[in-house]
Chain A
Amino acid sequence: MESLYAITTGVLTACGLYLTLRGRTFPVVVGLTLLSYAVNLFLFSMGGLTTGGAAIIDGQSHFADPLPQALVLTAIVIGFAMTAFVVILAMRARSELGNDHVDGRKREEPHR
């Protein structure tokens, strides 16, 4: 399970990073979303992976670390809010600047 989990996180990060480096705002937003998914998965696994364990210590030796679950919830909420904000910002930029390039102008145009 560990290797599958690690590979999933890694592939998500790689895709997110690639898309974040693109020149248009839509791929960048999608890339940031993928990156935050990867980070959430990573945070979730930071206490070690456990199957079938309760997140409460009740005297038994088999339990899951509850802290990462609380943290990942916080991270998901914050990440979601930030994604909503960046979507709106990208739309504002598209309407104000007239194109969806992150630098506000297409590459073909000469520099000012």
Chain B
Amino acid sequence: MMQHLIVLPVVLPLVVGLILLRSRHGAMRTHRTVGVAATALLVVVAMLMLARAAGGEVTYYALGGWQPPFGIVLVLDRLSALMIMVTSLLALGCVIFACAGDDERGSNFHGLFQLQLMGINGAFLTGDLFNLFVFFEVLLLASYALLIHGGGKSRIQSAVHYVVLNLVGSSLFLISVGVLYGATGTLNMADMAVRLTELPAERAGLVTAGGLMLLVVFGLKAAILPLYFWLPRAYAAAPAPVAALFAIMTKVGIYAILRVYTLIFGEQAGVLEALERPWVWWLSLATMVVAGIGVLAARDLRLMVAYLVVVSVGTLLAGIGMGSPEAVSALLFYLVHSTLITGALFLLAEMIGLQRGKAGTRLVKGRPLRDGRLLAGLFFVGAIAVAGLPPLSGAIGKALLMDAAAPWQQPWLWPILLGTGLATLVALSRAGSTLFWRSHDGEPSGEALSRSRWLGVGGLLAASPLLVALAGPVSDYTRATADQLADPDVLVRAVLSDAGESP
């Protein structure tokens, strides 16, 4: 069983998802139990993978027994294990939250949710560029269906934009994969890294074009500045558990940038080394500025959280733009924090909206909330964490990131990072005081919130104090991950030697 561990995060959601889709007229209760149990099992699998990868050994799984570089491989290293851990934790919170009733508004919620998890996990594990495209399509197709779950005008409309943009992005992905294959003759990422060392000089231009086109594709998924316009509307319109799960989708783009450019375009690539870095660095700073303005301008809590996702994307990409192992380590720490907290904020916004009746999540005077105090307390914790104030985890992530900046980068990064933090703080405190204090007189009404909603949100928000308490081990792990990424030879040797395990 242990030798098949690497493929489990893909196979488990696939099998469960298919079973759930097959029995779509079954009792809702069974669906919920199966969905939650499968996601909880995924957390266990992720823990086992994390334990296995923590030692620094890179292992791979050759699908169908075809040895790399000819077959498709799934590669497990520290980064993949960390990303799968974050995904499964976030998914568990979301699926528990969805059991309170969001899953009944449309059909097949739990089945689609599992397929979405399969796509995300596959994208984190694969070691093959074309296979990465396939898993991107799997997660996108599931996300298209989940985005319009429950229907409604705004969802359909933002889904049209989202689907069309991503289809164009997929075309671009295929073109760039084609260019890279034509120039190097391989699709295996580790093999491609080796082939780039002996690349004929006249093909360098071709590889540059392919590499930068890939950056456009990943930038579209990650929602970097000129390509983020689809995000706020789509995320604000999506059903809350789906929007919360989508918090990891932008990180898939960031993971892909990190993986492709540290592995393929690492220092062995000669003139092509780190060709993405100047683009990512300047665009990430601009993303932060624009998203900070978006946070201030948002007149709806869900839209504001969607812009907070863009802020976190900008912050993370700045880490990639700096490129040093310290910066990568800091960005991974911040990634864990921001994914779980923005996910929790989407869920929290839904709960607040449910209790305010017609006013919903719009930032206007509304009815007093039935569970106002508790919700305000959770909102306070979430706001502190996401704005990056001590004592919660956002502050540690930002401090690590600012500490990692080189002297010439500091005058750019520090004011922008702290400025967006301030903008976030201002916007969130204004939102909080409108939502919880400036209400009409009268009796609070609105429906009671079921226990699973509190459990989902509370669990995700608890990640922030937990990350502070465990900051030492977590940052040790991210530091080790960054060192492993900085030395791609380990991965290349592990994948291209014949000593791998095949089923």
Contact = CB atoms under 8 A, between A and B. Distances in A.
Q: Note whether A and B form a binding pair.
A: yes
Interface of A: 20, 25, 28, 32, 35-36, 38-39, 42-43, 46-48, 67-68, 71, 74-75, 78-79, 81-82, 85-86, 89-90, 92-93, 96-97, 102-104
B157 A104 contact: yes
B159 A43 contact: no
A93 B157 CA distance: 7
Nearest to B131: A74
Contact of A89 (B144, B174, B177, B181): B144
B228 interface: no
A97 B153 contact: yes
Looking at chain A's contact residues, the main secondary structure is helix
A43 B153 contact: no
A46 B171 contact: no
A43 B160 contact: no
Nearest to A81: B141
Interface of B: 130, 134, 137, 141, 144, 148, 151-153, 156-157, 159-161, 163-164, 167-168, 170-171, 174-175, 177-179, 181-182, 187
A102 B164 contact: yes
B156 A39 contact: no
Given A35-B171, A71-B130, A82-B170, A89 B153 contact: no
Contacts of B141: 81-82, 85
A104 B153 contact: yes
A39 B175 contact: yes
A99 to B, nearest CB: 11
A74 B164 contact: no
Contacts of A71: 130
A74 B187 CA distance: 15
Among all A-B residue pairs, the 5 with the closest Cβ atoms: A46-B178, A104-B157, A46-B182, A39-B171, A39-B174
Given A82-B141, A89-B160, 15 more contacts: A20-B168, A35-B168, A36-B167, A39-B175, A43-B178, A47-B182, A74-B134, A75-B174, A78-B134, A78-B137, A82-B170, A86-B164, A92-B156, A96-B152, A102-B161
A67 B187 CA distance: 10
A46 B175 CA distance: 9
B163 A86 contact: yes
